[in-house]
């Protein structure tokens, strides 16, 4: 595998600029196009699984993070508090849970609404030390695929199992190959909230969800509020990091006094499941760039079709084909300068899945000749057939370039 920083530069996916700041990379158009496709896919997957999406600000009142426990237990991993005036202080949030607890309690809840699944691809901030920052794998501004699933106590087991299945589906579509499952538990000498009984109960639930899967136990890797299942990936240098996670939390529902009315109208306390299917967009793409060596599946390739007229006489027809691609929902660009051979090579170097070549013969016959980035070439085919081929692969989110 190649280092994602080198490929990110070569393929113009993102840009690290000292003026932007360490750990604060900028997504360039190609990287943003790929990310956009992945975000759309994840949002749709969640929507179908019953999630409701919200937006919340990455900045919040100091009191919100005192209530959540973050300032008491997690302050070392947060940026310093911002002070407008002595009684008006703000926190760059290190997590989305406090805002999602506010969504839950924005009105009264009935047990019939549970599990209530609140999702957001939201911004958050962590002051990682500058020594560990590099590319997209460790950043200070994080865009997290996050959700908080508020459940009845008896729903937690099934909810965790369902999230594990969604993670499996998302990984398969993106080409993520997990390095292993980890059950992250409390360790000695750290600060944790909640009593032993709660922790044992939560650990038992997660162990049950993992039964049948190979996993390791990792003492000391739990969140401060509960144990978690972490799904690990390995980077090009062999370093392991957590991509997807499922965490159980009995603490925040109590801190925020979250409740629901049960079937007899009595108040019950929901359990909060924090989960991320694919982690942060930054860490996800650091991994995807390396595991695919920049050659993403066609559905999230930054440019899906490069249109190459053989000579000046075919430029108009090539531009027409490019427009047809764009209208069909594809990302396509026209490249006219340089020899045809050099342009075909460059398209492959750029990991563009399809080069569409139009010579005099193809234009006369209303055809294009597709060349794949792996060197395979197809016989010329009618324009609508070529569009249907590429669209079918993209819509099916196939890992292959041919149906
Ligand atoms: Zn959370």
pLDDT tens digits, one per residue of 377-395: 999 999 999 999 999 999 9
Question: Are the C-beta atoms of 180 and 214 separated by less than 8 Å?
Answer: yes
| Crossing angle (nearest 10°) for helices 29-48 and 156-174 | 140
Mean pLDDT of 273-294: 97
Q: At 242, list the tokens.
A: 């957590």
Number of H helices, E strands in the chain: 13, 20
Separation between Cα atoms, residue 113 and residue 49, nearest integer Å: 14
Question: Are the C-beta atoms of 124 and 99 separated by less than 8 Å?
Answer: no
pLDDT of residue 244: 97
Ligand 1 centroid–CA 192 distance in Å is 15
Separation between Cα atoms, residue 169 and residue 101, nearest integer Å: 27
Question: Are the C-beta atoms of 23 and 139 separated by less than 8 Å?
Answer: yes
Separation between Cα atoms, residue 366 and residue 328, nearest integer Å: 17
Ligand 1 centroid–CA 296 distance in Å is 29
Ligand 1 centroid–CA 319 distance in Å is 47
pLDDT tens figures, 201-256:
999 999 999 998 999 999 999 998 899 999 999 988 888 999 999 999 999 999 99
Ligand 1 centroid–CA 23 distance in Å is 22
Ligand 1 centroid–CA 377 distance in Å is 48
Instruction: Single out the residue of 191, 287, 214, 208 nearest to residue 244, CA to CA.
Output: 287
pLDDT of residue 62: 97
Separation between Cα atoms, residue 154 and residue 38, nearest integer Å: 33
Scan for tokens 């993209």, then name that residue: 394
pTM flag (> 0.75): yes
Scan for tokens 């020899």, then name that residue: 339
Ligand 1 centroid–CA 253 distance in Å is 12
Mean pLDDT of 23-37: 97
Instruction: Single out the residue of 308, 297, 270, 288 nearest to residue 116, CA to CA.
Output: 270
Separation between Cα atoms, residue 85 and residue 264, nearest integer Å: 47
Q: Which residues, other chains included, contact 36 with Cβ-Cβ below 8 Å and sequence gap of 6+?
A: none
| Crossing angle (nearest 10°) for helices 156-174 and 196-210 | 50
Given pLDDT bands bounded at 50, 70 and 90, which one contains residue 170? Answer: very high
- Domain 4-291: top CATH class: alpha beta
pLDDT of residue 130: 79
Ligand 1 centroid–CA 57 distance in Å is 15
Mean pLDDT of 275-282: 98
Q: At 66, list the tokens.
A: 């005192």
Mean pLDDT of 275-280: 98
Ligand 1 centroid–CA 217 distance in Å is 21
Ligand 1 centroid–CA 248 distance in Å is 9
Ligand 1 centroid–CA 96 distance in Å is 6
pLDDT of residue 162: 97
Q: Is the pLDDT confidence value at 166 over 80?
A: yes
Map out the domains of the chain as residue ranges: 4-291, 298-395
- Going from the C-alpha of 368 to that of each of 158, 200, 298, 322, 361, the distances in angstroms are 51, 63, 18, 11, 9
Given pLDDT bands bounded at 50, 70 and 90, which one contains residue 192? Answer: confident
Q: Judging by beta carbons within 10 Å of its beta carbon (0-12, 13-18, 19+), is residue 49 exposed, middle or buried?
A: middle
pLDDT of residue 401: 97
pLDDT of residue 163: 97
Higher local confidence (pLDDT), 284 or 225 = 284
Fold of 298-395: Rossmann fold (3.40.50)
Ligand 1 centroid–CA 274 distance in Å is 5
73-77, 128-132, 261-265, 274-278: segment of lowest average pLDDT: 128-132
Mean pLDDT of 174-200: 89
- Going from the C-alpha of 374 to that of each of 77, 135, 244, 315, 402, the distances in angstroms are 44, 27, 31, 25, 11
pLDDT of residue 93: 98
3-state secondary structure (DSSP) of residue 306: strand
Question: Are the C-beta atoms of 62 and 91 separated by less than 8 Å?
Answer: yes
pLDDT of residue 189: 74
pLDDT of residue 165: 96
Ligand 1 centroid–CA 243 distance in Å is 14
pLDDT of residue 129: 86
Mean pLDDT of 34-63: 98
Ligand 1 centroid–CA 95 distance in Å is 6
pLDDT of residue 376: 97
Ligand 1 centroid–CA 396 distance in Å is 32
Number of Cα atoms under 13 Å in the Cβ half of residue 199: 17
Instruction: Single out the residue of 358, 310, 356 nearest to residue 333, CA to CA.
Output: 356
Mean pLDDT of 121-150: 92
pLDDT of residue 202: 92
Q: Return mean pLDDT, the chain.
A: 95
Separation between Cα atoms, residue 338 and residue 243, nearest integer Å: 42
Q: Is the pLDDT confidence value at 1 over 70?
A: no
Given pLDDT bands bounded at 50, 70 and 90, which one contains residue 294? Answer: very high
Question: Are the C-beta atoms of 90 and 81 separated by less than 8 Å?
Answer: yes
């Amino acid at each position: 595998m190649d280092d994602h920083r080198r490929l990110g530069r070569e393929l113009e996916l993102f840009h690290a600029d000292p003026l932007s700041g360490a750990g604060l990379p900028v997504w360039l158009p190609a990287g943003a196009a790929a990310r956009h496709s992945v975000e759309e896919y994840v949002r749709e997957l969640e929507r179908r699984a019953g999630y409701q999406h919200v937006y919340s600000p990455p900045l919040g009142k100091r009191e919100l993070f005192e209530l959540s426990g973050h300032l008491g237990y997690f302050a070392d991993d947060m940026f310093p508090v911002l002070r407008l005036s002595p009684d008006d202080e703000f926190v760059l949030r290190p997590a989305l849970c406090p805002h999602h607890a506010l969504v839950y309690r924005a009105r009264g809840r009935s047990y019939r609404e549970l599990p209530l699944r609140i999702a957001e691809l939201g911004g958050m901030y962590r002051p990682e030390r500058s020594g560990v920052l590099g590319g997209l794998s460790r950043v200070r501004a994080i865009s997290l695929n996050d959700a908080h699933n508020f459940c009845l106590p008896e729903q937690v087991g099934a909810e965790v199992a369902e999230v594990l299945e969604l993670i499996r589906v998302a990984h398969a579509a993106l080409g993520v190959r997990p390095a292993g499952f980890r059950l992250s538990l409390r360790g000695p000498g750290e600060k944790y909230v909640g009593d032993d009984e709660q922790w044992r109960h939560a650990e038992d639930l997660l162990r049950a969800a993992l039964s049948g899967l190979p996993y390791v136990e990792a003492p000391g890797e739990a969140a401060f509020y509960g144990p978690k299942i972490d799904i690990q990936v390995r980077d090009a240098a062999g370093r392991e990091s957590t991509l997807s996670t499922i965490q159980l939390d009995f603490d925040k529902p109590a801190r925020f006094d979250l409740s629901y009315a049960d079937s007899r109208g009595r108040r019950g306390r929901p359990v909060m499941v924090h989960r991320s299917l694919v982690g942060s967009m930054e860490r996800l793409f650091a991994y995807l760039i390396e595991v695919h060596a920049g050659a993403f599946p066609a559905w999230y390739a930054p440019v899906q079709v490069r249109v190459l007229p053989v000579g000046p006489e075919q430029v108009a027809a090539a531009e027409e084909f490019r427009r047809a691609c764009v209208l069909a929902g594809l990302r396509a660009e026209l490249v006219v300068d340089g020899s045809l051979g050099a342009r075909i090579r460059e398209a492959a170097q750029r990991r563009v899945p399809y080069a569409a070549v139009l010579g005099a013969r193809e234009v006369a016959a209303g055809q294009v000749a597709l060349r794949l980035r792996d060197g395979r070439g197809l016989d010329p085919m009618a324009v609508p057939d070529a569009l249907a081929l590429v669209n079918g692969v993209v819509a099916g989110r196939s890992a292959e370039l041919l149906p």
